[in-house]
Structure 1
Amino acid sequence: MARANEEAAELLRELADLLSITGGDAFKIRAYEKAARAVEGFPDDISGLGLPGLRKIPTVGEAIAKKLLDFNQTGTIRQVEDLRAQIPAGVRALTEIPTLGPKRAYQLYDELGISSVAELSEAIGEERLKGLKGFGPKSVENLRHGIELLAQTRDRAPVDVASELADDVVAAISALPGVERCQYTGSLRRRRETIGDVDVLAASDDPHPIMEAFKALPFVTEIIGSGDKKTSVRTSRGLQVDLRVVPPESWGAALQYFTGSQAHNIRTREIAVRAGLKLSEYGLFDAESGALVVSETEDEVYRRLGLPWIPPPLREDTGEIEAAQKDELPRLVQVEDLRGDLHTHTDLTDGVASLEEMVAAAAARGLEYYAVTDHAPDLVMQRMTDEKMLAQRERIRELQKEYPDLTILHGTELNIGPDGSVDWDADFLAGFDVCVASVHSHFTQGREEVTRRLITACENPHVNVIGHPTARSLGRRAPVDADWDEVFRAAARTGTAMEVNSFPDRLDLPADLARRALRLGVRFAIDTDAHSVGNMRNIRFAVGTAQRAWITPDDVINTWPLPRLREFLAKKG
């Protein structure tokens, strides 16, 4: 994605938030939020577009196009700057707390003078929110938890932001003379869901010019530390990047060492010590003589330790060493294994691309089947009706003739109500090929209520997949609280798949819960939940999450041939 698109989308989102704080029109707020998704998913760089070109972005009308033109000309949106001046910065900082919306943040400022996260934390500790309208004991406890979540994620970046930066750095370094190999390492290579620093490794016999070129990259804003072995910089994208350069003959050992995790590396070093060896970033050495044993590839380092190569997403010391010693490592699911996508949206509801555009993109991905799952009517803001959904079904039948190699499935994303019920009656639901059901409201229900809510949805004979099951939004909303083992047992019993959602701020189910679900016999759907053509690129992040959960291709229903998938879906009906 072009950097300009990303920055403009963030400004539009901020504009929506600022209007929420100041009591702006709800329709305009939703329009800005939808336009932000459209700009983010737009395939071309908007920075060179004039007004006519900007008007071609889906959902971008004349007024928003003028704001984007303002961004192209000035690097900002003047209305955002004006609203920033009206609203204390502390109030905007408060809105970063998960569970605290713009209006309630302004209420805290207006009624209690709270203008920072630290002040809010202090006020909660002193019980100064008692008696404040809308802030009962449960709300205050949610706020306390939200502050903890914010502290955990404040210095970390979403995986998509880190990946884009890492890809740019690797491309730039790889193009330099004398660079034999270059790859990102660390938590990003292990497919963690958020990233602290981006770690990049290069192999060269002449590191000095590489470090100089690295420091001169256009997005570098500060040199933190510089040397021929390691250089650290801060970037305009808010992330630190550490570049290490090693001799080509040390590549494999260095790649293993700097990929980590620390716990995994401790285990591999212990194995080396017991074998009379010493393992470092420069190679595997004989402990007594200091002679180099192996170092050039990761595979030979692991083999010399008596292990097969261990996929990076598993390197967390959660059983991968023991499985490797028994030759029981799983064959992890890969992007290439996915035959279909079972959760996507069009501009009929909150997507920003037409049905025709989304189907064409699915065909271009080489998928064998593709489900359109626009929102059902209980999500009132999307204004879905029976007639609209049936008309879409007819259009899908027409499109199917144009795409003989792609089976287009007509589905829907249902809303799991507080009691576990879903939109539409059984007769209407029977007409869909696939039904995804998700929690979109009442996120703060108690553990027993949420557990029963999700189990009831699993027991619905028309629900095939539970979408983004924890309903979390990384850094913004905590996951719902449930007895997940009970939910997973119900999913396994009823033949309901759990989704691993590709959106970088969801990645839901998270890897730890997905692994628990796997042990309890649950099947999975790895979906994009794409609201634009650009969102389809996110699939690699969900696959990375699934790999961290030890999920194999056979565990994922959308790796299956269509007849087998249809059989699975039919068992629910």
Structure 2
Amino acid sequence: MARPNDEVEALLQEYADLIAITGGDAFKARAYEKAARAIGGYPADIAKLDEDGLKEIPNVGRSIADKVIEYLRTGKMAVVEERRAKIPAGVRELITIPGLGPKKALRLYEDLRISSVSELAAAIEADALADLKGFGEKTQDNIRHGIELLQQAGARVPLSLALDTAEEIVAELSGVTGCTRCAYAGSLRRMRETVGDLDVLVAAKRSDPFMAALCELPATAEVIARGTKKTSVRTAKGLQVDLRVVPPESWGAAMQYFTGSKAHNIRTRTIAVHQGLKLSEYGLFDTESGDSLASRTEEEVYARLGLPWIAPTLREDRGEIEAALHGELPEVVTERDIRGDLHTHTDLTDGLAPLEEMVAAAAERGYKYYAVTDHAPNLYMQRMTDEKILAQRERLRELDGTQHRMRLLHGTELNIDPDGGVDWPEEFLAGFDLCVASLHSHFDLGRKAMTRRLVRACENPYVNVLGHPTTRLIGKRAGVDADWDEVFAVCARTGTALEVNAQPDRLDLCDEDILRAREHGVKFAVNTDAHAVPHLAQLRYGVGTAQRGWLTRDDVINTWPLTRLRTFLRKGR
């Protein structure tokens, strides 16, 4: 169910990795990486483009365009097949370990014949890598941690893939005759950062048409089990989908039950028992008479239990029941509340679209304001200069207010040096409307040094937002080690907002860190960190994560009116 753009992006990225593994030209590998990113971020469906259309995509020349057309026509790319054949499958498995690069993977295979994750884990435990050059104690610790991350991810899929799949299935099943309601539930509805199985519910009087429709979907690769109440299939991407059909009158109870979480449901069922009731996926019943008391809507079910409706993203048994009972349940922030995006990029640095296109796309989303924050010069590969950023500022001022009266803010994403310093002196930073500061390197500093680094950056009077604070990549890279309570306290004291980065492979800060930071009185910014027009739509993932962290409109600075936001950005100066 992935877009052709996503499929080609993954294939070109794999080819770049295969080039690196086999010791190929580094510039060639980098060219394919750039093309992969450009195609993945391209807004149009590449399956509808000819060679000339493909060549209009940044970083896509004739050679790459020809390979893309070959894949779209045949489902294969010959050069990738050839490279795969030259490399043992075990080596390709090894490079899935976060922190283990292609050269080290090949070295492990050639010197020790290690060709699987389990073999590598055993070799580390047996101290078999001790004499291998380049595999010192610290490297082995990093690899061991990478294996742990890989195993934790297991068969779970990213939130974005699960949501795309769910929405397509819901759209298909909603069109089947007899459907009165259809929606996804489970951990996806709770917006967990990864999803194991996908739960889909249908309200209808007859189940057979829906079970048949699910089994016959193009994306269904395997039928695991088929019944009248539940059918399970596996998609081509390996995601298990469980479909349940319930009577229309049981819709609300079923949604409450199958949304979960398990811990939340135990609490609601316990409340029911104490009231002489029984709660199931079919309704809330009087234990003695068996009469149904509530079932059609979730609101009815919760109300009969003496509770207000609880947002799905809060249903983790992290205090939401107590808050509901005491009238203290937060009204969590929604996507509609977001007035603007405060962290985005253009093709001036590593973005894929020019300023004008990004601004137009933001205006179409109905934003009241929008910030452009291209990289600063200390991230050397972006080749930023004072002249370039000032020219962008001039053009941005020309565009200000021209698109649906949306106001434009000129910002930058600063790079936090190992000592906590940032690009540009204070007198130059004073010319920006806002500054996001982020870690892009030196992730392995010790806890004390990392904490000092982050604290110093937040104490800079021109740093407004700490971008993707922990730098984690879900299932690929752990966050940096720091005393986060100290960092959160400094953010609250200095008026530095913490970012909830909406990129689905980041979601940084995560929900648990948000909950901790919120206790310190920190403010937050939910941003996309968009590098292409389609990335602006990823805001939904950041908002879902913010909800899981109990954030309200007042907690999130980019829900505020522009005048209040500008006051915050002055940071007391």
Residue type of the partner of 1:420?
A: G
Residue type of the partner of 1:52?
A: D
CA RMSD of aligned residues (A): 1.3
Distance 2:180 2:404 in 1: 44
- Taking a change above 3 Å as real, the CA distance of residues 121 and 379 of structure 1, as seen in their structure-2 partners, is same
Shift in Å, 1:10 = 0.5
Shift in Å, 1:175 = 0.5
Report which stretch shifted further, 307-316 or 423-432: 423-432
1:13-412 → structure 2 map (5 Å cutoff): 13-400=13-400, 402-403=402-403, 405-412=405-412
Distance 1:20 1:440 in 2: 22
Shift in Å, 1:6 = 1.0
Residue type of the partner of 1:190?
A: R
Runs of 4+ aligned residues of structure 1 deviating over 4 Å after TM superposition are none
Distance 2:436 2:7 in 1: 32
Aligned residue in 1 for 2:512: 512
Asked whether the 8 Å contact 1:182–1:200 carries over to 2, the reply is: yes
Q: Secondary structure at the match of 2:343?
A: coil
Asked whether the 8 Å contact 1:463–1:572 carries over to 2, the reply is: no
Aligned residue in 2 for 1:555: 555
Residue type of the partner of 2:102?
A: P
Shift in Å, 1:401 = 5.9
Asked whether the 8 Å contact 1:370–1:406 carries over to 2, the reply is: yes
Q: 2:564 aligned with 1:571, yes or no?
A: no
- Taking a change above 3 Å as real, the CA distance of residues 116 and 177 of structure 1, as seen in their structure-2 partners, is same
Shift in Å, 1:226 = 0.5
Shift in Å, 1:323 = 0.3
1:435-455: CA deviations, max 9, x gaps? 111111111222112111111
Residue type of the partner of 2:291?
A: A
Question: TM-score scaled to structure 2, two decimals?
Answer: 0.98
Q: Secondary structure at the match of 2:13?
A: helix
Shift in Å, 1:404 = 6.3
Residue type of the partner of 1:256?
A: Q
Aligned residue in 2 for 1:531: 531
Q: Secondary structure at the match of 1:410?
A: strand
Q: Secondary structure at the match of 2:108?
A: helix
Asked whether the 8 Å contact 2:253–2:295 carries over to 1, the reply is: yes
Asked whether the 8 Å contact 2:363–2:404 carries over to 1, the reply is: no
1:11-62: CA deviations, max 9, x gaps? 1111121122223333333332222222122222212321012112233222
Report which stretch shifted further, 473-482 or 52-61: 52-61
Asked whether the 8 Å contact 2:464–2:571 carries over to 1, the reply is: no
Question: TM-score scaled to structure 1, two decimals?
Answer: 0.98
- Taking a change above 3 Å as real, the CA distance of residues 82 and 176 of structure 1, as seen in their structure-2 partners, is same
Shift in Å, 1:83 = 1.3
Q: Secondary structure at the match of 2:182?
A: strand
Distance 1:452 1:419 in 2: 8
Q: Could you tell me which runs of 5 or more consecutive residues in structure 2 were left unpaired when the two chains were aligned.
A: none
Distance 2:24 2:419 in 1: 32
Aligned residue in 2 for 1:500: 500
Asked whether the 8 Å contact 1:250–1:295 carries over to 2, the reply is: yes
Q: How many residues align?
A: 573
Residue type of the partner of 2:59?
A: T
Distance 2:403 2:504 in 1: 30
Distance 2:2 2:97 in 1: 28
Shift in Å, 1:76 = 2.4
Report which stretch shifted further, 193-202 or 132-141: 132-141
Distance 2:317 2:2 in 1: 37
Asked whether the 8 Å contact 2:436–2:467 carries over to 1, the reply is: yes
Distance 1:154 1:36 in 2: 25
Residue type of the partner of 1:22?
A: T
Shift in Å, 1:338 = 0.6
1:464-503 → structure 2 map (5 Å cutoff): 464-503=464-503
Distance 1:570 1:132 in 2: 53
Shift in Å, 1:572 = 5.5
Q: 2:446 aligned with 1:446, yes or no?
A: yes
1:332-381: CA deviations, max 9, x gaps? 00011111111001111111111111011011111111111111112122
Q: Secondary structure at the match of 2:43?
A: coil
Shift in Å, 1:507 = 0.3
Distance 1:522 1:387 in 2: 35
Report which stretch shifted further, 383-392 or 488-497: 383-392
Distance 1:23 1:426 in 2: 44
- Taking a change above 3 Å as real, the CA distance of residues 509 and 566 of structure 1, as seen in their structure-2 partners, is same
Asked whether the 8 Å contact 1:343–1:373 carries over to 2, the reply is: yes
Q: Secondary structure at the match of 1:108?
A: helix
Distance 2:113 2:391 in 1: 52
Asked whether the 8 Å contact 2:462–2:571 carries over to 1, the reply is: no
Q: Secondary structure at the match of 1:479?
A: coil
Report which stretch shifted further, 237-246 or 38-47: 38-47
Q: Secondary structure at the match of 2:234?
A: strand
Distance 1:338 1:211 in 2: 39
1:458-503: CA deviations, max 9, x gaps? 1111111111011011111111111111110011111100000011
Report which stretch shifted further, 89-98 or 252-261: 89-98
- Taking a change above 3 Å as real, the CA distance of residues 2 and 48 of structure 1, as seen in their structure-2 partners, is farther
Shift in Å, 1:2 = 5.8
Q: Secondary structure at the match of 1:423?
A: coil
Residue type of the partner of 1:51?
A: E
Asked whether the 8 Å contact 1:507–1:542 carries over to 2, the reply is: yes
Residue type of the partner of 2:488?
A: F
- Taking a change above 3 Å as real, the CA distance of residues 563 and 26 of structure 1, as seen in their structure-2 partners, is farther
1:257-307: CA deviations, max 9, x gaps? 000000000000000000000000000011112121111110000000000
Distance 2:305 2:403 in 1: 51
Asked whether the 8 Å contact 1:2–1:44 carries over to 2, the reply is: no
Asked whether the 8 Å contact 1:492–1:522 carries over to 2, the reply is: yes
